[in-house]
Amino acid sequence: MADALVFSLLDKELKRQREGIELIASENFTSLEVMKAMGSVATNKYAEGYPGKRYYGGCEVVDEIETLAIERLKQAFKASWANVQPHSGAQANTAVFLACLKPGDKILGLDLSMGGHLTHGSPANFSGKTYQAFFYGVDKETGLVNYEQLEQIARTEKPKMIICGASAYSRDWDYKRIRSVADEIGALVLADIAHPAGLIAAGVLNDPFDHCHIVTSTTHKTLRGPRGGVIMMRNDFDNPYGIKDPKGNIRSMSSLLDLAVFPGMQGGPLEHVIAAKAVAFGEILDPSFKTYQLDVQQNAQTMAAAFVAKGYHLISGGTVNHLMLIDLRNKNITGKKAQETLDRAHITLNKNAVPFDDKSPFVTSGIRIGVPAITTRGLKAEHMGTVVEMIDTVLMNADDEQVVTNVRNEVKSFMLQFPLYPELG
């Protein structure tokens, strides 16, 4: 018997997704097959351990599913090892820290207020509470990662781990340069590619794997899979600094990472999500995935140029990936008000601190815009001008509810041209 209340809410959410313009840079629309695998019987199975080494009986089928997910992911990124069990990107990062660091060890990551991520050492997060965190930022003029500052802090503080990766950074990374200073001071390099993972898998952005010891990602952003995390390595770097397991033995980096995920910080893996990851990783291997990522990049660049033409200030002047960060200070509207007003027009994005922001993280001076979801809906470069026009109309008339309502109606009829899950009725 259907739970009328929950399923009517899910219908409402489908309608919201169909009728709105989804611009949250970390969201996407999975295939129906990904969703089907996630809503499957695999949710019923306990499988603590790893394929072939489980603590429960009856794991022969989920062993095959998890092995398939691992093998497809390795193929997609030309990795030599992968763990597909982390429940999220935050869990993946936690496992890496647990495997490689001791409480109190120093880490160095991109400042949250400059586009970094909570799990890269923010004082509000376990990473900042457990480890001694230092931060590099971006250059005030160019908006690009300040590699000189990164190197200077690395040489002075000698962190055990340098983290590269961001949640709101529209440029590529110089992984080689980061590895070079890491080697100088004996640090490991972690690349958290949660945001640009799809573009990296498609070969559209720099490849971190030959330079970074460990790579983590989420699976639901540009990778377009179910919500979840993964950890990968291209080469098992063979534990260059002799890190020991909880029993005091020096082991391979891959086995340290496996042990950190389970039993270190998670219990039973979500085999239904792992099944959905396997489907998504299969989709990465299809040539259409590269076309999609090229469309993402093209849409982002076209949209960025349209904003610049309207006098918007983009951090770093533009984008090479799937997102852009806009400083709204010259437009006299805060990030908070922009997000809330656009929400009423069914244009969904998030307020975001901009580098050197003078407003609190609850207000912010900026907005972050990403195109992975609308690109999945089928929007192409020629549609970006329309989207920018609608956003600009709302932001320039934020106190005029009639204008906002008019745009909401336009958004609905515009997006109905791009059907979402027509099979769901």
Query: Residue numbers of the site for ligand DSN (CB under 6 A)?
Result: 26, 117, 167
Q: Which is nearer to ligand DSN, 117 or 160 (CB)?
A: 117
Burial 16-33 (b: 16+ CB within 10 A, else e): ebbbbbbbbbbbbbbbee
Parallel, antiparallel, or unpaired: how do β-strands 49-50 and 53-54 relate? antiparallel
Bridge partners, 215 (sequence order): 191, 232
How many other C-beta atoms lie within 10 A of the C-beta of residue 360? 10
Catalytic residues: 46, 48, 192, 218, 221, 227
Parallel, antiparallel, or unpaired: how do β-strands 21-22 and 347-348 relate? parallel
CA distance 299 to 354: 22
Q: Which is nearer to ligand DSN, 125 or 146 (CB)?
A: 125
Taking a C-beta distance cutoff of 8 angstroms, is the pair 273, 38 a contact?
A: yes
Burial 311-325 (b: 16+ CB within 10 A, else e): ebbbbbebbbbbbbb
What's the min distance (Å) between Cβ of 218 and ligand DSN? 7
Q: Which residue is nearest to ligand DSN (CB)?
A: 26
Handedness of CA 115, 366, 303, 404 (dihedral sign): positive
Q: Which is nearer to ligand DSN, 254 or 297 (CB)?
A: 297
What does the CA dihedral 244, 249, 253, 254 come to, rounded to 10 degrees?
-130
CA distance 292 to 294: 5
Q: Which is nearer to ligand DSN, 117 or 272 (CB)?
A: 117
Q: Which is nearer to ligand DSN, 83 or 167 (CB)?
A: 167
SS3 410: helix
What's the min distance (Å) between Cβ of 89 and ligand DSN? 6
Taking a C-beta distance cutoff of 8 angstroms, is the pair 234, 69 a contact?
A: no
Q: Which is nearer to ligand DSN, 27 or 105 (CB)?
A: 27
Element (H, E) at 350: strand 350-352
Name the residue type at position 182: A
What's the min distance (Å) between Cβ of 26 and ligand DSN? 3
Taking a C-beta distance cutoff of 8 angstroms, is the pair 197, 133 a contact?
A: no
What's the min distance (Å) between Cβ of 266 and ligand DSN? 18
- Residue at token pair 């495997």: 99
What's the min distance (Å) between Cβ of 167 and ligand DSN? 4
What's the min distance (Å) between Cβ of 155 and ligand DSN? 29
